[in-house]
């Protein structure tokens, strides 16, 4: 993304997926002027799996809460239909 100004902004996208992770990580390191052996950007597999598991649990909890709210709405509507 570039704007037509004196100091245009530039946006770069890095795809750190399983296929191109090493090449993209190299490009990111080069753009950030990091040494090749600087491993501060690398995350080990266990940490990634823990983050994914945590996010899955968060999504499952959120979905469960939304389902419970929906059930409550239908129960209240059903109750209202039968009392009035």
pLDDT of residue 9: 67
Instruction: Check pLDDT > 70 for residue 35.
Output: no
In sequence order, what are the residues at sequence separation of 6 or more whose Cβ sits closer than 8 angstroms to the Cβ of residue 3?
Answer: 9
pLDDT of residue 34: 72
pLDDT of residue 39: 54
Determine if residue 8 is left, alpha or beta; phi over 0 gives left, psi from -120 to 50 gives alpha, anything else beta.
beta
- The beta-carbon contacts of 32-37 under 8 Å, at least 24 apart in sequence, are none
Enumerate the domain spans of the chain.
1-42, 43-84
Instruction: Check pLDDT > 50 for residue 1.
Output: no
């Amino acid at each position: 993304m570039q704007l037509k100004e004196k100091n245009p902004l530039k946006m770069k996208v890095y795809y750190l997926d399983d296929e191109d992770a090493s090449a993209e990580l190299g490009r990111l390191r080069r753009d950030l002027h990091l040494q090749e052996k600087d491993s501060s950007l690398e995350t080990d597999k266990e940490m990634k799996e823990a983050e994914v598991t945590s996010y899955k649990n968060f999504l499952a909890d959120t979905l469960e809460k939304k389902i419970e709210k929906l059930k409550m709405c239908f129960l209240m509507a059903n109750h209202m239909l039968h009392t009035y």
